[in-house]
Structure 1
């Protein structure tokens, strides 16, 4: 909290965003809340009547494209059943346990390496490389904070609103780097993959790097919030299968990001995301915000 306040003092807009997240402001409608937050973070007015930009259209979709199955699709536990039915359970990362509380976790039966994450938020994860290094008091505090998070209120992402919070324990996996898993993230527009991006060096001292690729696996000259890596990663062995599955999973959906991993030549599903960066991730150059926005065909709405 102190860190957020310090950042806010340096950047008044961020301080206002932090204040906006206070429970007091939950009385504000989703539409008004998103208009304020969009203005603070993107620095433009949010046009919901004639949205053109990618970030703009994601805000529109939060408000006007609400289907019950979306909640299952973003729930990191319930989505496993969805993926099993759609493409097959062999593409799921092995699940070691699912828990309603920290005290339910029996660390004695877990392997030396594993991954903990909540099913109902984004960005929260604990990667255990060695059980002997765990500070259980600190970990319990962190996990309990996860369980208390009401993620919907942070960005007004409706699919998260009624998810039952749980903790997942998954098998620890790394790719050929031996230290991490590269994320292959496919951007699907009305059921068609138009581009993808790769996240790498997530756990390095230099921080996360992100590179966009077109469908011919050429690097695109664009940044989104995070810096480019400066390298071109090899096209994944399962690229064509990734594209096929991504398009199958995103059928009849205006926008969906579908994530995969590749480990020793095997393909694994990551997650489904309706609102990357919650529609507040700036593009450089800004023209890509409009280009990607032009790829989304919004459904007819009575708004």
Structure 2
């Protein structure tokens, strides 16, 4: 862990230090990100994480093409779908039903309201913010939850409104009104959280990522072909992944594929549709336009990288 990461961990471990350091951290964020152009930030971070300087004018790789889309594809619909609250309206409109939405138990813009009396007593839930990414808290038993820790976690999340735009230049996250929300925890009968991520390029399904997590958010993965056939464990989209040996498909796997395909048709370039499954029903979890912000350091095998790049056809490709 570097010095910056250690300092951040210290500041965020203590409510007192966090509050005291907040003005300086906001000034630092402004100085580091806001005054620099999107191209400069993207080029610098891409080279540091991916390992080479991207061609942002004539992109060839999948990672480069995602950066081009950040700079040039400003479809306002992306802003709605990046918002984990407003995306629910989009899904209902496209599908004509609300059955694919997880139950919404709680909604607020005040972290102080994260208290047990405002939540169901005996229903597990997921606590998160609508404007962030990845920072979710699984609460299996509300009676045993550390509510002080949950409030502090939400306070940290609400303090920085444009974090994903600042650091990654994912423009669609900028300006989202921050809200704290709690949704029903979707689990299989075995007690795991299972997610299927469908990667589409120009309406074409390229690969499916199966993910499995326990209540401690220990994650395991496996990649599947569009027909749900298991790919070898050599398939990887991002590093440091532990794989499952097999995947037991839910009984509604065909419905999930049809739902993901239907939603993906609304977007002309790259989109990833993430669905949760309890083995019988499926629910929308997230819609993502810049997988791993495009800073994908490991993309294997070469055939997968080539197919993603080939099927993601941009105006720059057509001109060539």
TM-score range, shorter chain: 0.7 to 0.9
Aligned partner of 1:14 in structure 2 is: none
> Which ranges in structure 1 are unaligned for 5 or more consecutive residues?
9-20
* Structure 1 position 5 matched with structure 2 position 13: no
Aligned partner of 1:145 in structure 2 is: 156
In structure 2, the CA distance between the partners of 1:162 and 1:6, relative to structure 1 (3 Å rule), is closer
> Could you tell me how far apart the structure 1 residues matched to 2:216 and 2:127 are?
19
> Could you tell me how far apart the structure 2 residues matched to 1:42 and 1:102 are?
36
Say which is worse superposed, 24-33 or 238-247, in terms of deviation.
238-247
Match of 2:263 among 220, 229, 249: 249
Aligned partner of 2:184 in structure 1 is: 171
Match of 2:202 among 167, 190, 193: 190
Structure 1 segment 149-228 matched on structure 2, within 5 A? 149=160, 150-151=162-163, 152-178=165-191, 180-201=192-213, 203=215, 207-221=218-232, 222-224=235-237, 225-228=239-242
> Could you tell me how far apart the structure 1 residues matched to 2:32 and 2:39 are?
13
Aligned partner of 2:246 in structure 1 is: 232
Aligned partner of 1:25 in structure 2 is: 32
CA deviations over 1:252-293 (Å, ceiling 9, x no partner)? 420100011122411211110001111112213355333311
> Could you tell me how far apart the structure 2 residues matched to 1:126 and 1:204 are?
9
> Could you tell me how far apart the structure 1 residues matched to 2:302 and 2:175 are?
34
* Structure 1 position 48 matched with structure 2 position 56: yes
Shift in Å, 1:226: 3.5
State the superposition RMSD in angstroms.
2.5
CA deviations over 1:98-125 (Å, ceiling 9, x no partner)? 1011223452142233221100010011
Match of 2:310 among 281, 287, 294: 294
Shift in Å, 1:48: 1.4
Say which is worse superposed, 167-176 or 104-113, in terms of deviation.
104-113
* Structure 1 position 99 matched with structure 2 position 108: yes
> Could you tell me how far apart the structure 1 residues matched to 2:242 and 2:202 are?
27
> Could you tell me how far apart the structure 1 residues matched to 2:303 and 2:279 are?
37
TM-score by length of 1: 0.87
CA contact (8 A) 2:195 2:275 kept: yes
SS at structure 1 position matched to 2:57: coil
CA contact (8 A) 1:191 1:248 kept: no
SS at structure 2 position matched to 1:145: helix
> Could you tell me how far apart the structure 2 residues matched to 1:2 and 1:132 are?
37
TM-score by length of 2: 0.82
CA contact (8 A) 1:96 1:171 kept: yes
